[in-house]
């Protein structure tokens, strides 16, 4: 079984990379996937977010302009005006909630307010009007995939997704792909946004995680983890179910994200022992590294124009904060986006 990232079972291989000691062991014990489902709902309102304050301190946080505009008419906007949604928790507040932040920085806006359940793994709808996410409860019991308005509220469960993870909204906005337990393995499914019909795409003895759609909606790329702890990227044609390897067997490749420009970014634990960002073509060619710091870089997401990436950078110990960073696709112009003493994870840049 592959290693999981965070406390929800999301697998990216970087958890534990370059990390040792009691903190890592303690956190790892909390990361097992739990198949039991719970049914806990809590109100999601943006009003309480006004007290979220500036990064790292109290105050009044204004709603980012791009979040307010997300539900409006579909007017093309530059990447700088498209918000980034992410999950956050801290030592003082161990329940994860979803936040939104502008790519230019500023105070993140808290979108969910759930004191007894955690909300993680956000995925934007292609029109920017809604966000799909995973909800899990006490002890890690996975409730399933839900959707909400981009500014919070109008909570809707996706039926039939109990125990599922890694939601990914299709480019046409009609379907959601996700990873779901089948026996002792996890497989890739696709369902309409209302949960029906749920179609199983993969049938293997490996674990399949983190699907991401091709720009035309005809393919999915995903991580396949075998029993030895290795993970490679795979590609599946949705109509024929033909599967093709993207990266080599024996790799440690996780959390792919497919750009509109037909490139796939992913996190790889390489020979340095750290997780770095890499880019590859869908046919497996042109692989090259983007980041190279002595840190763990994971969960990359493309900007809508394909020029930049947002990702999480963590330190060498599980007790270290994890922050969001921005970087150009060529590896230049690295910028730290969040700076609070928190764990900021699983960012998704609005299309």
DSSP line for 109-174: EE----SSSEEEEEEE-TTSSEEEEEEE-GGGBEEEEEEEETTS---EE-TT-TT-EEEEE-TTSS
The C-alpha atoms of residue 293 and residue 276 are separated, in whole angstroms, by 8
Tokens found for residue 167: 């939601």
Cα torsion angle, 148, 173, 307, 14, sign? positive
State the sign of the Cα–Cα–Cα–Cα dihedral 93, 99, 102, 107.
Answer: negative
Per the CB < 8 A criterion, the answer to whether 221 and 214 are in contact is yes
Residue 107 tokens, joined: 């105070």
Q: Which two tokens stand for residue 237?
A: 């044609």
Q: What is the pLDDT of residues 6-17, one digit of tens each?
A: 444 444 555 445
Please give the Cα distance from 327 to 312 (Å, whole number).
Answer: 11
Residue of 268, 277, 275 lying closest to 250 (CA atoms): 268
Q: For the chain, which ranges sit under pLDDT 50?
A: 1-11, 15-16, 18-63, 65-76
Q: Which of 183, 203, 192 is nearest to 160 (CA)?
A: 192
At a CB cut-off of 8 Å and minimum separation 6, what does 131 contact? 85, 98, 111, 122, 123, 124, 125, 147, 148, 149, 150, 348
Give the pLDDT score at 251.
Answer: 96
Report the alpha-carbon distance of residue 313 to residue 347 in Å, rounded.
11
CA triple 153-159-160, angle to 5 deg: 140
Helix, coil or strand: residue 7: coil
**Whole-angstrom distance, CA of residue 111 vs CA of residue 98:** 5
> Which residue is listed with tokens 């006004």?
50
The Cα–Cα gap between 311 and 340 comes to 16
Peptide bond into 185 cis (omega under 30): no
Provide the 3-class DSSP secondary structure of residue 65: helix
Both structure tokens of 241? 């179910």
Secondary structure letter of residue 62 according to DSSP: P
Q: Which residue, 244, 237, 246, 192, is CA-closest to 217?
A: 237
Beta-bridge mates of residue 133: 146
What are the tens digits of pLDDT across the range 196-229?
899 999 999 999 999 999 999 999 999 999 989 9
- Residue-wise DSSP of 174-204: SEEEEEEEETTEEEEEEEETTS-S-EE----
């Amino acid at each position: 079984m592959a290693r999981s990232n965070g406390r929800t079972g999301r697998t990216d291989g970087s958890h534990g990379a370059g990390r040792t000691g009691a903190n890592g062991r303690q956190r790892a014990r909390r990361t097992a996937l739990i198949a039991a489902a719970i049914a806990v709902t809590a109100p999601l309102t943006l009003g309480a977010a006004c007290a979220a304050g500036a990064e790292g301190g109290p105050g009044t946080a204004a709603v980012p302009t791009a979040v307010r505009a997300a539900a409006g008419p579909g007017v093309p906007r530059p990447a700088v005006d498209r918000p980034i949604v992410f999950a956050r928790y801290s030592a003082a507040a161990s329940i994860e909630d979803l936040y939104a932040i502008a790519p230019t920085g500023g105070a993140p806006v808290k979108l969910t307010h759930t004191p007894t359940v955690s909300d993680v793994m956000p995925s934007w709808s292609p029109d920017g009007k809604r966000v799909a996410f995973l909800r899990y409860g006490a002890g890690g019991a996975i409730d399933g995939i839900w959707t909400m308005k981009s500014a919070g509220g109008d909570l809707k469960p996706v039926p039939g997704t109990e125990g599922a993870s890694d939601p990914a909204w299709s480019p046409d906005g009609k379907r959601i792909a996700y990873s779901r337990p089948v026996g002792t393995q996890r497989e890739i499914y696709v369902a309409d946004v209302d949960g029906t019909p749920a179609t199983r795409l993969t049938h293997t003895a490996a674990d399949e995680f983190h699907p991401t759609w091709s720009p035309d909606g005809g393919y999915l790329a995903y991580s396949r983890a075998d029993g030895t702890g290795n993970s490679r990227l795979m590609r599946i044609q949705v109509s024929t179910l033909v599967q093709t390897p993207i990266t080599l067997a024996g790799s440690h490749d996780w959390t792919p994200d497919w750009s509109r420009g037909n490139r796939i970014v992913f996190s790889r634990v390489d020979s340095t022992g750290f997780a770095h960002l890499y880019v590859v073509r869908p046919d497996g060619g042109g692989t090259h590294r983007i980041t190279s710091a002595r840190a763990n870089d994971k969960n990359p997401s493309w900007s809508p124009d394909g020029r930049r990436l947002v990702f999480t950078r963590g330190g060498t110990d599980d007790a270290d904060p994890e922050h969001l960073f921005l970087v150009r696709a060529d590896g230049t112009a690295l910028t730290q986006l969040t700076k609070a003493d928190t764990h900021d994870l699983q960012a998704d840049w609005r299309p």
